[in-house]
Amino acid sequence: MTALHATSGLLALDHVTVMLGKRQFGPFTLSIRPGEQVAILGPSGAGKSTLLKLLARELNPATGQAHFDQRLLTDWSLAELSRRRAILPQSHEVAFGLPVDLVIGLGRVARAHDPYLNSIVQQAAAHACAAHLLERRFDTLSGGEKARVQMARVFAQLWDVEQGLLLVDEPLAALDPGLQFELMDAICSFASKRGHSILAILHDINQALQGFERLILIKHGTLVGDYQTSHVTLPLLEALYEVRLASAMTEEGEMIVAPSLKQQMLSNSCLDY
Amino acid sequence: MTSFISQSSRTTSTVWGLPQWFASKPAWLLSLILIAGVWAAATMGAVPVTWQDWLAVLKNSDEPLSGGAYVLWHLRLPRILFAVLIGAALALSGALAQGLFRNPLADPGLLGVTSGAACAAALTIVLLASSGIEVPAALRYWLLPATAFCGAVTVCFILDSVARWLTADSIAGLLLTGIALNALAAAVIGLCTYLATDEQLRTLSFWTLGSLAGANWALAGVLLITLVLALWALRQLTHAMNALALGEAAAAHVGVNVRALRMRVIMLVAVLCGFAVAWCGMIGFIGLVAPHIVRLLVGPDQRRLAPLAMLVGAILLLLADTAARTVAIPAEIPVGIFTALLGAPFFLVLLARMRKGV
Amino acid sequence: MSHVFNNPKEGMPHARRIFLSQLGAAVAAVCLPQLALGNEAGKKTARRIVSVGGGLTEIIYALGAEKELVGVDTTSLYPEAATKLPSVGYARALSSEGILALSPTLVLATEDAGPPAVLRQVGTAGVPVSILSANDKFEGVIERIQHVGSLIERAAQASQLESQLRQDWQRARAPILARKTSAPRVLFILSHSPAQIMVGGRKTSADAMIAYAGARNAVDGFDGFKPLTPEAVIAAQPDIVLFTEQGMGVVGGVDGALKLPGLAQTPAGQKRRIVALEAMFMLGFGPRLPQALSALDQLLTKAMQG
């Protein structure tokens, strides 16, 4: 992979490592094209969140270079960066019980002059199915409602931007399947309309297989695979999770994956003890 | 770029834009209460003041004032202004600290800022006396306030660097550091009290009682300028302070430079709190209660909270100090007693209302 | 002078005094002529004195100037009449406006008075403020009497009081100086509340009184008042324990005092030699000093015999 290739694309990592205490993660080399929808899969503790933090600039590379839109990630100011990429966090808590419209508006806090703020807040809320929550206080919301409001905040942040980047960290894991589907759909349609790239950490393999065109596989703190979704095979996923999987085809030709009930092939799981 | 915005719905922003707090109903009401309070406080006191005295004060002639006019101009009015300004400063430092720590119970006392200031003052009193250094009379007036102020600033710097070194960018680390610094300051003050002679204890007791008796126009002027500067600095911070409620990481994601913000807020808290402690000793409750009251009145939006908390703090301390001045005429009762008496029940009532969800 | 009132809590005016002072202020507000501030008024109108310090108030009464007294602080408890005057409050938390409201022409205060800013404000308003030195010596009392006498133009009465006091002092000291028995070890205990028990070390008013009474302070390891520790009390081996009457009340009389940690293990505790005197009388270092010394001497002597 040439250096030229490494800096091209919306987001590009070139042999980036990151240290978390004494543990080293990486090296990661990958590139995300504008508008691409990528899922990150991997077992718990594999380093998915660390990779996301690196991309979010919460962690700085120990070695290697990370570029965002042809510029070194560390050269971006936080305010500039916030106008191009947004992050949907795993936890939803907000202190003090701020009103929902204010929370959503906070996505645009880095803009000094923002004449359309009110209408953007309204539209972002509507797109996240949270329009009816605008008058409420955040701390009175249920878990699902909080997730919608946080999503609306992220939508507001990148509402009038094109070719931005949306980083998503398992925001829907605790929600019921219907809501998960609805919200993931909202994210994808929001992003594809504006040409935003999505990079999402997911727990649900099926969600990744169905909604995303490319899968990045992470294990033991490093990149173990980077595939177009259509090229992902069952053994790859089995090796990733060290679990035996079974698959079935839906009538529409989508592959559904689930852990197999027969797990005897596992060699290094806790079941061996 | 704006193709995603429906043009029809462009309205004058009530959510963002310049703080329009002064146009809101609570702001009007509180301002009226404050003005009424100032007027009432000016008419109350040990020395009877007539309307002729008011005229004499307003006339601005070269003749030296006497009688009630002297008391009004040289003692009562500067003290009233002082109470208003110190109350506002304490409330603002409380509101900032609570916003910074995303904890409604955080106040500069919790940070160790107040005790840091008192600790520096106590050390100065005891060490200076035992070292035998003669301080010129002109300097002596400024010495303790200056050291108290330095104490507050020092604590803030230690707080910031230690917390960053221990746990980078974590609020919990900062709070824990504050607790440790508080304990340290308490130990040093305790040691000073033990080592102090009776004469030194006298000075120390002024510090712990808290009093606005030292008010004068020059001091009030300095404080007013400080507050105006603080408000100016605040104007740029309140947006970002709101984002801090999302958590530090999310605040950074939406473009807030959390480290710089924290530094600026901490410096503001130190300046406001240091000034208050330096000139008035330790006056409790205002920094904790005033932001609470405002949060219950208008919600937690920092852009309205900070200025309104200043108004409420000013009202509270003015009421407390007027009571301190007038309840036991011609004697005076320590103002800290009244800040607690006024603040605590009010606070409890509002808490009860909040529970009911009113 | 009075080191008894170092604790802020002690000086807090209680309800009765607040009421009295309010009454006083109300009366003052009605009866007072137009406020006379500044020196030029002092010559014509009668002198009006505010006294901050119990000892000073006693001196003013002793010099027969009580008619000129218009305000006192909370430590001015003697004579009884002084407590009827408007109170300017606790000596360390004075109010400039409160003092000025009494239209004084002279403010007398000891070094205890404060806050300094208030005394400055009163001075700036044109009222002379005299700060008298506070020390725990008989000569200090004489000095203060002379000083006050000259300030309120009663030098003759002051001289008369001085010679009277010197005579009384001689009379009080003579039996003590003549005594051949060994000096008893006296432990002085000060208590503002049951949780705050302090013992008097060197350089305290109590230490001075104990020495004048021909006894020895059982505690000589430190200066000032320090918290009581049981082991230190036992190590001090006092023959007598001396309280203020107020402090004795706080700990619950002699029986309560005996329950203080360590006290029962001392000679004083075992023989119930526990005595008390009124605080301002014993430690005020005012004109009643000779009587106070005699009273203390008698108490100690009786305790040692009993």
Burial class (CB in 10 A: 0-12, 13-18, 19+), A171: buried
Q: Are the Cβ atoms of B47 and C97 closer than 8 angstroms? A: yes
Q: What residue in B sits closest to A88 (Cα-Cα)?
A: B250
Find, among C53, C61, C70, C12, the residue nearest to C287 by Cα.
C61
User: How many alpha carbons fall within 13 Å on the CB side of residue B79?
Assistant: 29
Question: Residue C35 has what pLDDT?
Answer: 46
Judgement on whether residues C127 and C184 belong to the same structural domain of the protein: no
Whether the Cβ atoms of residue A154 and residue A130 lie closer than 8 Å to each other: no
Alpha helices (H) in chain C, listed in sequence order: 8-11, 15-31, 39-44, 54-62, 96-101, 116-124, 138-151, 155-178, 205-212, 230-236, 245-251, 253-258, 267-270, 279-283, 289-305
Whole-number Å distance between alpha carbons of C209 and A155: 82
B16 domain residue, yes or no: no
Determine, yes or no, domain membership for C164: no
Chain C, 108-137: which have a CB under 8 Å from a chain B CB?
111-112, 114-115, 117-118, 121, 124-125
- Domain CATH for B214: 1.10.3470.10
Residue B67 has pLDDT above 60, yes or no: yes
Of C103, C134, C165, the position where a domain reaches its end is: C134
Number of domains in chain B: 1
Angle value at C-alpha A176, between A172 and A179, nearest 5 degrees:
70
Domain extent for C44: 3-134
* Number of domains, chain C: 2
Nearest to C128, CA basis, from C34, C48, C53: C48
Sheet with A214-219: list strands edge to edge. A85-88, A165-169, A197-201, A37-41, A214-219, A222-228
Tell me if the bond preceding A27 is cis, omega within 30° of 0: yes
Nearest-CA distance C210 → chain B (Å): 19
Which of C134, C155, C188 finishes a domain? C134
What CATH number should be reported for the domain holding residue C119? 3.40.50.1980
B9: in domain: no
* Ramachandran area for residue C71 (φ above 0: left; ψ -120 to 50: alpha; else beta): beta
Per-residue pLDDT, averaged over A65-86, amounts to: 91
User: In whole angstroms, what is the distance from residue A121 CA to residue A113 CA?
Assistant: 15
Q: Is residue C281 part of a domain?
A: yes
Contacts of A193 in chain B (CB under 8 A): 4
Give me the pLDDT at residue A273, please.
40
Host domain of residue B201: 21-47+66-356
For B5-22, the pLDDT digits (tens) are: 554 444 433 433 345 555
- Phi, psi (deg, nearest 5) at residue C242: -110, 130
pLDDT at C244: 93
C231 & C120 share domain? no
**Residue at which a domain ends, from C108, C134, C160:** C134
Cα(B23)–Cα(B9) distance, integer angstroms: 23
Average pLDDT over residues B251-265: 89
The two tokens of residue A101 are: 């419209």
Considering the domain architecture, whether residues C198 and C267 belong to the same structural domain is answered as: yes
- Note whether C110 and C224 are same-domain residues: no
Query: For the purposes of burial, counting CB atoms within 10 Å of the CB of C208, is it exposed (0-12), middle (13-18) or buried (19 or more)?
Result: buried
- List residues of chain B with CB under 8 Å from any CB of chain A: 1-6, 9-11, 13-16, 102-104, 239-240, 242-247, 249-250, 252-257, 295, 299-301
Within a domain: C211: yes
Q: Which two tokens stand for residue B226?
A: 């400080």
Q: Is residue C291 part of a domain?
A: yes
| B179 min Cα distance to partner chain A (Å) | 21
Which residue among B10, B11, B246 places its CB closest to the CB of A94? B246
Q: Is residue C242 part of a domain?
A: yes
Residue C259 lies inside a defined structural domain of this protein: yes
Between residues B325 and A175, the one the model is more confident about: B325
C113 and C193 inside one domain: no
Which residue matches tokens 């009401």?
A: B29
DSSP single-letter state for residue A99: B
* Domain membership flag for residue B56: no
C95 found inside a domain = yes
Whether B and C touch, i.e. at least 3 CB pairs below 8 A, reads as: yes
- The 3-state DSSP class for residue A198 equals strand
In a domain, B7, yes or no: no
pLDDT bin (cut points 50, 70, 90) of residue B309 is very high
| DSSP code, position B71 | I
φ and ψ at residue B141, rounded to 5 degrees: -60, -35
pLDDT, tens digit only, all 306 positions of chain C: 434 333 433 333 444 444 444 444 444 444 444 444 444 444 456 899 999 999 999 999 999 999 999 999 988 998 999 999 999 988 888 889 899 999 999 999 988 787 888 898 999 999 999 999 888 899 999 999 999 999 999 999 999 999 999 999 999 999 999 988 889 999 999 887 777 788 999 888 999 999 999 999 999 888 888 888 888 889 999 999 999 999 998 888 999 999 888 888 999 999 999 999 999 999 989 999 999 999 999 999 999 987
Which residue reads 């960018």 in tokens?
B169
Q: How many CB atoms lie within 10 A of CB A269?
A: 11
Range with top average pLDDT, B43-52, B163-172, B209-218, C184-193: C184-193
Position C260: which residue type? L
The SS3 of residue B264 is helix
Q: Which two tokens stand for residue C82?
A: 């002084």
Paired tokens of B60: 């601005």
Burial B287-313 (b: 16+ CB within 10 A, else e): bbbbbbbbbbbbebbbbbbbbbbbbbb
Domains located in chain A, CATH noted = 3-84+161-272 (3.40.50.300)
Which candidate from B11, B104, B254 shows the least CB-CB separation from A96? B104
Judge if C54 and C110 occupy the same domain.
Answer: yes
**DSSP state at residue C242:** E
Q: Which residue of B has its CA nearest to A136?
A: B299
For residue C94, list chain B residues with Cβ-Cβ distance below 8 A: 213, 331-332
- Alpha carbon distance C298, A248 (integer Å): 109
Pick B15's closest partner by Cβ from A78, A93, A105: A105
Alpha-carbon distance of C148 to C66, in angstroms, equals 13
